[in-house]
């Protein structure tokens, strides 16, 4: 696959001709919303074997080789370059195919968000998944679990050899609740009741693992959470089930805050089989406009994670969404709207604005003015930002990665999964 960034004046026809493919191939691969209108700065994944690079002003073979993660010697060999120190601007270089890393891939799905489409959402991408985490069997104060309409995604998971994970949380009334966790961790009979119910559901419905997503615990619940996970692990592993946990994105062991202090990376890393690190929501609906998953911050979290947890247990989080903020941003004011990458692209085209790309955070963004004269700022994911995250997974040698959340189509992501990795099926 080749990532192409649309320039001013380009059309699908001219782009297709440059790469020797048809317009329909590009349009189908990217689910292009309007064949006649492209946004400047829009990315297109071109379905060709290998990669092609056109030399830009100031580039050398060394900088090009670093960018694509291949050797300069291999580029010279493939293209039969007579003088490597004198490459012309505009020269078309063929690049060697990438070495595919074997990884595991998980995706969360919330059947409440996708309603009757939850099975279809899994069918669309099931070939690219190892696990499917179904959100959420929520723990109530009395120990009861709130049931989930999970039949459709479970059937789809089975059809695609995807292992379903039951997600257990302290989620109630639309938020994670500290008091539910505190009550559970201080009451051993209540813990047994919760685990009994979870195991019954897993056995009845064919779940293969239990994922713990307990958030906003605070420091006071840190040790209680560790003990609860140890108890759960003993029961789950005796039955051949996986156990995993979703953890907040910490930069150090000393990080303060109710979201962070309850998650003990080293202790939990010793207990569970793998961990989903929530490397997103720097840009969030109630905060100021910025990238949801800035690669410089993601790198810091991952580097700390692999210093505290075996890297073969580390799964990096990737968002399948962005946000549209109304400007000017006012703390405590109007919340941003969550949008899919495809919706973001459609808005850029609709309002005729260019898409910019921040090289530090490796994320696309744009501004537009709506029909009421209100200005907006949008940050989202595109092929470039996804490829940057995949490069980090490969560089650090992680177990794999996961997505929040299925149900928002982003075809470029799955094309790049196939281009970069071999997904392990169990």
Phi-psi region of 421 (alpha: psi -120 to 50; beta: other; left: phi over 0): beta
Query: What is the DSSP secondary structure assignment for residue 309, as one 8-state letter?
Result: S
Residues in the chain: 426
Q: How far apart are CA 45 and CA 413, in angstroms?
A: 9
Token pair, residue 328, equals 């000017």
Query: What is the DSSP secondary structure assignment for residue 312, as one 8-state letter?
Result: G
Task: Calculate helix-pair angle for 411-420, 383-396, nearest 10 degrees.
Answer: 30
Dihedral angle computed from the Cα positions of residues 171, 173, 176 and 179, in that order, rounded to the nearest 10 degrees:
-90
Measured CA angle at 228 (ends 225, 234), to 5 deg: 140
**Catalytic residue numbers, as ranges:** 215
Query: What is the DSSP secondary structure assignment for residue 160, as one 8-state letter?
Result: T
Residues 6+ apart with CB under 8 A from 165: 106, 131, 132, 133, 134, 207, 208, 209, 210, 211, 242, 244
Q: Map 206-259 to HEC letters.
A: CCCEEEEECCCCCHHHHHHHHHHHHHHHHHHHHCCCEEEEEECCCCCCCCCCCC
Dihedral angle computed from the Cα positions of residues 261, 265, 269 and 275, in that order, rounded to the nearest 10 degrees:
80
Nearest CA to 296 out of 215, 363, 246, 229 is that of: 363
Q: How far apart are CA 99 and CA 135, in angstroms?
A: 34
Please check whether residue 326 is in contact with residue 334, taking contact to mean a CB–CB distance below 8 angstroms.
yes
Residues 6+ apart with CB under 8 A from 105: 128, 129, 130, 131, 400, 401, 402, 403, 417, 421, 423
């Amino acid at each position: 696959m080749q990532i192409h960034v649309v320039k001013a004046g380009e059309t699908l026809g001219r782009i297709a001709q440059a790469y020797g493919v048809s317009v329909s191939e590009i349009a189908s691969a990217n689910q292009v919303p309007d064949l006649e209108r492209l946004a400047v700065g829009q990315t297109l994944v071109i379905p060709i074997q290998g990669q092609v690079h056109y030399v830009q002003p100031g580039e050398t073979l060394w900088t090009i080789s670093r960018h694509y993660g291949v050797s300069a010697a291999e580029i010279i060999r493939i293209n039969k370059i007579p003088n490597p120190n004198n490459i012309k601007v505009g020269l078309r270089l063929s690049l060697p195919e990438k070495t595919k890393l074997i990884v595991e891939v998980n995706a969360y799905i919330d059947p409440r968000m996708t309603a009757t489409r939850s099975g279809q959402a899994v069918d669309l991408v099931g070939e690219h998944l190892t696990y499917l985490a179904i959100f959420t069997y929520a723990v109530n104060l009395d120990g009861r679990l709130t049931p989930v309409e999970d039949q459709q995604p479970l059937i789809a998971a089975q059809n695609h050899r995807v292992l379903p994970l039951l997600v257990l949380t302290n989620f109630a009334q639309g938020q994670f609740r500290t008091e539910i966790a505190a009550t559970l961790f201080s009451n051993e009979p209540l813990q047994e009741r919760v685990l009994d119910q979870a195991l019954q559901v897993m056995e009845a419905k064919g779940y293969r693992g239990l994922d713990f997503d307990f958030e906003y615990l605070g420091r006071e619940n840190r040790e209680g959470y560790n003990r609860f996970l140890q108890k759960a692990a003993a029961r789950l592993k005796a039955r051949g089930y996986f156990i995993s946990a979703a953890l907040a994105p910490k930069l150090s062991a000393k990080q303060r805050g109710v979201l962070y202090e309850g998650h003990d990376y080293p202790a939990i890393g010793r207990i569970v089989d793998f961990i989903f690190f929530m490397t997103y929501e720097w840009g969030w609906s109630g905060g100021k406009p910025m990238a949801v998953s800035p690669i410089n911050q993601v790198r810091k979290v991952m580097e700390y994670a692999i210093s505290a947890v075996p890297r073969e247990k580390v799964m990096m989080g990737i968002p399948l969404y962005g946000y549209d903020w109304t400007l000017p941003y006012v703390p405590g004011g109007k919340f941003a709207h969550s949008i899919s990458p495809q919706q973001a692209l459609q808005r850029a085209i609709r309002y005729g604005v260019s898409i910019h790309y921040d090289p530090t955070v490796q994320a696309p963004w744009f501004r537009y003015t709506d029909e009421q004269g209100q200005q907006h700022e949008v940050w989202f994911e595109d092929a470039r930002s996804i490829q940057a995250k995949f490069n980090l997974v490969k560089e650090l040698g992680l177990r794999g990665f996961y997505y929040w959340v299925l149900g928002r189509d982003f075809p470029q992501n799955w094309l790049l999964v196939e281009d970069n990795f071999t997904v392990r099926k169990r």
